[in-house]
Structure 1
Amino acid sequence: MTAFRTHLEFLRKTGDCCSLERPDSPSPQVIASEALRADGPAVRLGTADGRIDLVSGVYGGVDQLRRQTRYPWTRLGIGLGVDRDPAYVDVLEKIATLGKRVDERDVTYVERAATTTDRTVRDLGFPTPPGETWPHVTLGVLSVGTDEGTYWTPLHGTVIDSNTIRARIPETITDRFERGATVSIALGVPAEALAATQFLTITDRLSTPIEDRRVGSTVPVIPTTGGVVPSSSEVVLEAEIADKQPDTRSEKRAFWEHLLEGTTLTLEVSSVFTRDDAVVPFTPLGVPLTDDLQLVSLALAARLYDRVNSYWGVSPVEWLLLPAAGRLGICVVSTEVLYAGFEWQLSNFLFSFADCFDTVVLVDEHASPRDLGQVLGDIWVKAHPARDWLFSGSDAPVARLPTYSREGTGARLYIDATWDPRWDEAYIAPRVSLAESYPPTLRAAIRGSWAEFGFDSELDELL
C-alpha cells in the first residue's frame, strides 16, 4: 500500500509534481484546468494560513494524442505500486483485482495518521469553482459502518456552511445510508482505496462490504464512528446524516455522476481530523483530462477487459482503452480475430456491458496502447468506410456520453481496423516505424556503436 503523500513525493522526485503557493485569485480550479490543458505535471498548491494543501493531476491529466513519456495511467499506476513506468494492462489488472471478492477477511488495523482538531470544514479551505458560492469536495471516499461490515462509496460534496456538507452518492448504495446514521469522509486516501471504490461503483458492486473485497486486505484501516477508513487518510470528517433526498444536481458534476443516478445526503460534521501539513486531491469539474475522468476511464476499461477475456474461454483481447480525450464516447480494442464474425460479436458484447460509448474500434493485437495516434491511423489505413464501418439501426439505445448532436438516434458504429485473418501474410503491409525504415545490418551497427556510449535504455525504446 502506498500512502497518498508517499505517492506525491515520488511524483515530485521524478519531476511530475510541482509546488506553487496557493493564490487568493484565481481559483485553484482555474490553475488546475490550465495545467491539464497544457499537459503539465500534477500541481500542488500550498498555503501558510492553516488551510489544507490542494493537489490536482495526481491520477491523470495527460493528452495521449501528444508524443511523450507519460501516459494517462502512469501516475495512477505508480500510486497502485504497479511500476515506475507501468504497463497499461498491468494497471487494468491491478484495478480489477482490488475489486474481487476474497474467501475470508484479512483486515489490518493500525494507528490513525490524522489527529483531532477544533477546525470547521470551512476552515480547511476546499476550492470553490469559478462562478459558484460553495466549496466542493471531490476525490474522496464516504464510509458507513453496519453489522455486516463497512461500505465505501465515492462522493461529490458542497460545503454549505461551517460544518454542513451536501454530498451526492450513487443511488445503488443509498439503502445503507439512512437518516440519522453516522458516516465518515476520508480524503487524501491511498490510490488503491480510491481506484477500487471507483471500480466497484462502475461495476455495481458497492453492496458488498469493503472487508470482503481484495482492497480490504491491501489497505490498512482504522475504525471510526462511520466504519473503517484508510489509516493514512490526510483528512477524516465524522458526520451524521441529517437528511436524504433525490439527487439535486448542479451543472458541475463529478464524472461518475454522468453514468449513475444519485442521491443527495445532508451531512452534519461533528469531528475533523487532519494530518500535519495535510494535502488533499481535488478535480476541476467539467474540464477535459481531469483526475475523475481518468479514474472512471480506467475503472470502466478494467471492468470490460476483465469481462471480455473471461467470456470465450480464451483471452483474445490484448488491451481495451476508453480514451479520456474522447470523453469515453469511443472504445478501442486490440484483439485477435478468432473467427469470421468475431468482430461483430465482440462489438455487440461491449455495447451490452456499457452505455457510455456508441463507437467501438477494433485494431490488431500487436498495436500498442501507448501510441494512440498510430491506433487511430489504422482506422483509415485498414478500414474501408464502405465495408468496415458498420452502423446499427437508429433504434439502438442512445449512448450517455457523446456530446455531438444525435437528434434522437441511437445508432451505434463499430470499425474493423484489423487485417483480415484469412489473408496470406505476404499481402499484409508491415507496420512502419523509424526503426524498421533502416536495414537490419545498419540497425545492428548503430546499436553496437551507441551501446559503447551507454545508451542502452534509449536504444531499447528506439530500436
Structure 2
Amino acid sequence: MIPFTQYLRGLASDDDLVTLDDPDDVPVDVVAAEALRASGPAIRYERVDGVDLASGTFSGPDQMQRRDSHPWSRLALGLGLDPDAPFVTLLDTITALGPADGVEPTYAGQAASRTVDGVQELQLPRGTDDVWPSLTLGVVSVATADGSHWAPIYGSVISDDTLGVYTPAAVSSLLDDGGTLSIALGVPPAAITTAYLLTVTGRIEHPVQDCGVADNVPLVPTNGGLVPSATELVIETTVEDRHPDFQSDRQEAWEHVVASTPLALSIERVIATDDPVLPVSPVGRPLADDVQLTGLAAAATLYHRVNDYWGISPVEWVLLPAETELGICFVATDVLYAGFEWQLANILFTFSSLFDTVVIVDEDVSPRDLGRVLGDIWVKAHPSRDWIFSESAAPAAKRPRYRQDGETGARLYVNAAWDPRWEDSYIAPRVAFEQSFPGPVRDAARQAWNGRHDTERDGERDET
C-alpha cells in the first residue's frame, strides 16, 4: 500500500512531478488542464493559505506524442508496479483490487488526526466558472450491515457546514434520510482505483472488506464507513437532503457509465494529517484524471470478461484511450476463426455502453504506440469491406461527444487485423526504421543523431 504523499515523492524521484507556487491570477484547474494538454508532468501546488494540491497524478501524457512514459505509468507506480510494467500487468492488478475470495482486511491507526475548524479553512480550489470551491477525486464510504461501500464523489463546498456533491445513485440507495457517510480525499492510488472499478462494473453494493484492495490497504472506521488509514483528509457528514435542487455543469467520466445523484451533506467533522496534500482534477477537460481512471477500470473489466468468454485468452489487451474520450475501444487479439472479429466486437458492445466504435488490431501491436494502432485502421482496413456498421437501432453510446442527444444510432467495428487465412507472403511488411535499412546504416544514423544532440547540449551549456 502506497500512501498518496509517498506516491507523490515517487513521481518526483522519477522526474514526473514538478512543484509550483500556488498561482494567484490563474485558477488551478486551468493550469492543470494546460499541463495535461501539453503532456507535462504531474504538478504539486505549494500554498501559503490552505492545503497543498496535486494535479495530473493519475493521468499521463498524450499517447499521440512520443514520450518515454505512458498515460498509465503514474498509476502503475502507485499500485506498486514498475512504471514501465506491461500494460496487461496493470490491467490484471486493477482487476485484483475488486471482489475476491479469502480476503483478510487489515486495520491500522488513522493518519488524519488533526481536527480542522472548518472546511473553508482548506481553501479548496475554485474553477473559472465555479461559484463555490470544489472537491474532486474523492472516495465516499457508506456503512451497511454487509460492510463498507466505496464509490467516487465530487462536488462543492457550499459553506463551512454544507457540501453539495454528486455520487453514484447506488450510494444514495444505501442511505436513509439522516444517514452518515464519509468522504476521503488524498487516498492511496489503490483505493481510488478500487472505487472507480466498483462503480464501472456496477458492484458498489459489494463491501470493500471482501475486495482485494483490503489485502494491502489498511482500513480505519469513521462515522460513515471504513476508509484507508493513510487518508490525507476525512470529511464526516450526514445526509441533509437527498433531493436537493442544485445542479452542476460538470460531469465526471464515471457518470457516463452509471447514473449519479446529488446530495446535500451536513458536515460533522473534518480531520486531516499535519500537512495534507489533496489531488484535484480539471473535470470535463481532455486527459483529466477521472477520464484516465474510468478508462483503465473499464479496460481491465472488458479484458477479463472477453478472455473468460471462450475459456481461453485470445485477447492480448483492451484499451479505451482518454485521447478518444473513451468513445473508441481498441482491442488486440488473435483471430481464432472466420467471423471471430465480428463476434468479439458484439461482445464488447454488449458489455459496455461507453463507446460506439471497436477497432480490432493484430495481437502483436503494442498498446504503447497509439499512433501505430490508429495507423492500422487505414493500412489494413478497407472502408468498403472492413468497416462494418450496424443498423441504426443500436442504443446510443454514452461517451462520444458527437452523440449527446440520447437517440439510437449505428455501431461500428473496424477489422484492422490481417486475415489469418492469408499466406505470409501476401501480408505487407511493417514499414519502420528497423525494417527499412540495413544494420550498418541504422548504426551510422544513430551515431550521427546522438552526436548532433550532444553538440546541441554543449551549445546550450555554453550559452548558460
Task: State the TM bucket, normalised to the shorter chain.
Answer: over 0.9
1:444 offset after TM fit, Å? Answer: 9.2
Judged with a 3 Å threshold, the aligned counterparts in structure 2 of structure 1 residues 384 and 291 are, in CA distance, closer, same or farther, namely: same
Q: Secondary structure at the match of 1:288?
A: coil
Aligned to 1:458: none
Aligned to 2:62: 63
Q: 1:207 aligns with which of 200, 205, 208?
A: 205
Q: 1:134 aligns with which of 111, 121, 132?
A: 132
* CA distance in structure 2 between the aligned counterparts of 1:169 and 1:122, rounded to whole angstroms: 21
More deviation in 117-126 or 2-11?
Answer: 117-126
Aligned to 2:279: 281
Aligned to 1:86: 85
TM-score by length of 2: 0.92
Judged with a 3 Å threshold, the aligned counterparts in structure 2 of structure 1 residues 242 and 350 are, in CA distance, closer, same or farther, namely: same
Aligned positions of 1:110-129 closer than 5 A? 110-129=108-127
Do the aligned partners of 1:127 and 1:136 also contact (CA within 8 Å) in 2?
yes
Aligned to 1:430: 429
Do the aligned partners of 2:60 and 2:73 also contact (CA within 8 Å) in 1?
no
1:17 aligns with 2:34: no
1:398 aligns with 2:415: no
1:386 offset after TM fit, Å? Answer: 0.7
Do the aligned partners of 1:52 and 1:278 also contact (CA within 8 Å) in 2?
yes
Aligned positions of 1:4-403 closer than 5 A? 4-49=4-49, 51-103=50-102, 105-245=103-243, 249-403=247-401
Could you tell me which amino acid in structure 1 is paired with residue 235 of structure 2? L
Judged with a 3 Å threshold, the aligned counterparts in structure 2 of structure 1 residues 389 and 399 are, in CA distance, closer, same or farther, namely: same
Q: Secondary structure at the match of 2:63?
A: coil
More deviation in 128-137 or 401-410?
Answer: 401-410
1:79 offset after TM fit, Å? Answer: 0.4
Q: Secondary structure at the match of 1:215?
A: helix
Aligned to 1:457: none
RMSD after superposition = 2.0
* CA distance in structure 1 between the aligned counterparts of 2:234 and 2:404, rounded to whole angstroms: 43
* CA distance in structure 1 between the aligned counterparts of 2:253 and 2:395, rounded to whole angstroms: 21
More deviation in 339-348 or 431-440?
Answer: 431-440
Q: Secondary structure at the match of 2:358?
A: strand
Cα deviation per residue 1:300-339 (whole Å; 9 max; x = unaligned)?
0011001001000110110111111110111111000000
Do the aligned partners of 2:116 and 2:272 also contact (CA within 8 Å) in 1?
no
1:233 offset after TM fit, Å? Answer: 0.5
* CA distance in structure 2 between the aligned counterparts of 1:402 and 1:446, rounded to whole angstroms: 42
Do the aligned partners of 1:156 and 1:253 also contact (CA within 8 Å) in 2?
no
Do the aligned partners of 2:142 and 2:224 also contact (CA within 8 Å) in 1?
yes
TM-score by length of 1: 0.93
Q: How many residues end up aligned between the 2 structures?
A: 447
* CA distance in structure 2 between the aligned counterparts of 1:136 and 1:216, rounded to whole angstroms: 29
* CA distance in structure 1 between the aligned counterparts of 2:95 and 2:126, rounded to whole angstroms: 33
* CA distance in structure 2 between the aligned counterparts of 1:443 and 1:165, rounded to whole angstroms: 61
Unaligned 5+ segments in structure 1 are: 448-463
Could you tell me which amino acid in structure 2 is paired with residue 417 of structure 1? A
More deviation in 128-137 or 280-289?
Answer: 128-137
Unaligned 5+ segments in structure 2 are: 447-464
Do the aligned partners of 2:61 and 2:67 also contact (CA within 8 Å) in 1?
no
1:445 offset after TM fit, Å? Answer: 10
1:409 offset after TM fit, Å? Answer: 4.7
Do the aligned partners of 2:119 and 2:160 also contact (CA within 8 Å) in 1?
yes
Q: Which runs of 4+ in 1 moved over 6 A?
A: 441-447
Cα deviation per residue 1:96-144 (whole Å; 9 max; x = unaligned)?
11113223x4111111111132421111111111122111111111112
